[in-house]
Structure 1
Amino acid sequence: MDGICTSLFPCFYRHNIQVLQRVVKKWNDHENLKFAINVGDIVYGFRPKPESLNAVQKVVKQFETSYCPIYHMIGNHCLYNLPWKDLLPMLKMPTANDHTYYDFSPTPDYRFVVLDGYDISAIGWSHDHPKTMEALKILQEKNPNSEKNILVGMVGVERRFLMFNGAIGKEQLEWLDKILQVSTKHEEKVVVCCHMALDPGAAGYEALCCNYDEVMEVIHRYKCVKACITGHDHKGGRSIDSHGVHQQVLEAALECPPGSDVFGYIDAYPDKLSLFGTDRMASTEMVFNS
């Protein structure tokens, strides 16, 4: 399977749309591209809602000039003033039963699992939604500050308990477990994608999914998961975790000065993923340990 393409488009600034235009042109020049992934934050969230809607529509329209299918994730900036109900139809995410997570198989030997790290979150849902209440309860217990985006007194991985982060709910974890069971049975190699990072060795603690440990406990039950591709930490990062799973945090377009780019494509083989980065995105080989 050649030409799996991955991209991170974290905030909508004027230069970012120019980056995206160049990215899509490069994708369309690539002969064997199967699909592309946007790891989230398609819009800068701190703007009036009508402006955000227009911005998302503009960016989606640019994505849709790609010759290959585009798979989106939602990040914290998307949710600051646009709720799920507005975003899902525009992004055309292949979700079912109102779920905000999904999977797809571009070839018989690979499956991509897209997690929703803002399943349990204080942003994106209505103020009285049970998922909002659950998220606020976690933040109240874990973050001693009255302002829940402040880190005073928090050390190590405890610094992940912030308002702009989220968690993966019980139902989604059960779904992930079932997907990995099926993939194991079918001898598929699995790549897990999420906006937030899933390994403290690959990203700053503030960029971690609030229950990354629970997510990785499920993933580590199965040898089929070969890599996790995430975003959120704008500088990017990479590691190989204790079970040999490659943790790849993609660099953000937000960090691109005018004239620079940050995107890449992945060639997938039976024994490895080869990420070819452009400009500010680092290239790397993710060789499987079994």
Structure 2
Amino acid sequence: MMTSLNGAIAIGTKQPLFSFGVITDVQYADIPDGRSFLGVPRYYRHSILSLQRAVTKWNQMEKLKFAVHFGDIVDGFCPKDKSRTAVLKVIKEFDKFNGPVYHMLGNHCLYNLPRSDLIDLLKIPGPHGYAYYDFSPVPDYRFVVLDGYDISTIGWPEDHPHRLEAIKYIETKNPNVEKNSPDGLTGNDRRFVMFNGGVGKEQLAWFDSVLQDASALDQKVIVCCHLPLDPAASSPESLLWNYDEVMHVIHKYNCVKVCIAGHAHKGGYVVDSHGIHHRVLEAVLECPPGSDAFGYIDVYHDQLSLVGTDRMASTEMHFSLEKIS
């Protein structure tokens, strides 16, 4: 067997328990190419072509049990009178996959449509209309999908308590008139901008109960969120507002093995002090025409193996089954 750069053992001929497709930040819009606020090129029309190639490849493999899109299905620059049409166009491409596709909310989704509409269109199976949920593809594993815009200034009705809480929160954390600007903020405090969001108290309590249950069932957990949960795997401007609170819950238990996110388009990877792997996926939106960023993950008893295509880096994530103190 070969040893990879991060010390994980290559799989060889061992068969995975199951496999699933991954892609993030399609951010489709029927508009000319543009650039991010940092000047990084963005290819709004090409992204859906890359998604089409992803679905074709996933279907050809036949072994994939499901796929996960990590948020931002359409772009914030999409003309608002065309938002629903654009979302439906991308969903139509995902529907060509021969299996279920699990979605989560990103900020660009919420720039376009109210969260209640998105939950319905994306068939997000959250309890009581929430955008967080969990599922178990096999008895040994559980996926937990967090709503990183639970506490947010976008997506909620003007007078909704979660929006009002977010406005008050960001006012105390960001002194700038333009609350999407991190100017003057230092270190991880640069995450306190309006294009990020937080996990509310009710969701945190739910998350704690899910991890408690998973621990009792001896399940291994993969946490999915549009927003990254570890500063070392992401630019500080992209972090969940209260990533520290979420990680405090995670570190109470031994069941979470991997956290996967989108949002920070260039991607990232780190293993934290508790041995949890944090993988931020590279975005489709920033793939020049002719290039791609998608992949699939083979899941084993003690390892996740991300096999990336083109600009999505392959990553071997070998984890201990013992508690790290």
* Category of TM-score, reference length = shorter chain: over 0.9
Contact 2:76 2:108 in 1 (8 A): yes
Q: Distance in 1 between matches of 2:306 and 2:138?
A: 18
Aligned to 1:182, which of 207, 210, 213? 213
**Residue in 2 aligned with 1:47?**
78
Superposed displacement of residue 4, structure 1: 1.8
Are 2:89 and 1:73 equivalent residues in the alignment?
no
The one-letter amino acid paired with 1:17 is: I
Aligned to 2:152, which of 121, 130, 135? 121
Are 2:272 and 1:241 equivalent residues in the alignment?
yes
The one-letter amino acid paired with 1:262 is: A
**Residue in 2 aligned with 1:8?**
24
Are 2:320 and 1:281 equivalent residues in the alignment?
no
Aligned to 2:231, which of 200, 215, 232? 200
Q: Distance in 2 between matches of 1:37 and 1:55?
A: 19
Superposed displacement of residue 60, structure 1: 0.3
**Residue in 2 aligned with 1:250?**
281
Aligned to 2:59, which of 23, 28, 35? 28
Q: Distance in 2 between matches of 1:247 and 1:31?
A: 27
Are 2:147 and 1:147 equivalent residues in the alignment?
no
Report the number of matched residues. Answer: 290
Query: Residues 132-173 of structure 1: CA distance to partner in whole angstroms, max 9, x if unpaired?
Result: 110011110000101101122100000000010000000000
Q: Distance in 2 between matches of 1:267 and 1:199?
A: 23
**Residue in 2 aligned with 1:222?**
253
Superposed displacement of residue 289, structure 1: 2.0
Query: Residues 59-100 of structure 1: CA distance to partner in whole angstroms, max 9, x if unpaired?
Result: 001100100110001110011131112111110111121211
Superposed displacement of residue 47, structure 1: 3.0
Contact 2:152 2:163 in 1 (8 A): yes
| More divergent stretch after superposition (188-197 vs 42-51) | 42-51
Superposed displacement of residue 10, structure 1: 3.4
| More divergent stretch after superposition (51-60 vs 38-47) | 38-47
Contact 1:229 1:248 in 2 (8 A): yes
Aligned to 2:135, which of 97, 101, 104? 104
The one-letter amino acid paired with 1:220 is: H
Q: Distance in 2 between matches of 1:152 and 1:62?
A: 38
Query: Residues 237-273 of structure 1: CA distance to partner in whole angstroms, max 9, x if unpaired?
Result: 0000111100000000011000001001010100100
Name the Cα RMSD after superposition: 0.9
Contact 1:3 1:30 in 2 (8 A): no
Q: Distance in 1 between matches of 2:134 and 2:300?
A: 20
Contact 2:26 2:48 in 1 (8 A): no
Q: Secondary structure at the match of 2:182?
A: coil
**Residue in 2 aligned with 1:264?**
295
Structure 1 gaps, min length 5: none
Structure 2 gaps, min length 5: 1-16, 29-43
Contact 2:256 2:276 in 1 (8 A): yes
**Residue in 1 aligned with 2:114?**
83
Q: Secondary structure at the match of 1:222?
A: coil
Contact 1:45 1:52 in 2 (8 A): no
Q: Secondary structure at the match of 1:97?
A: helix
The one-letter amino acid paired with 1:10 is: V
Superposed displacement of residue 206, structure 1: 0.4
Are 2:173 and 1:173 equivalent residues in the alignment?
no
Q: Distance in 1 between matches of 2:246 and 2:300?
A: 26
Q: Name the TM-score, length of structure 1 as normaliser.
A: 0.98
- Which 4+ stretches in 1 moved above 4 angstroms? none
Contact 2:233 2:280 in 1 (8 A): yes
Q: Distance in 2 between matches of 1:55 and 1:157?
A: 34
Query: Residues 110-138 of structure 1: CA distance to partner in whole angstroms, max 9, x if unpaired?
Result: 10000000000000111211111100111
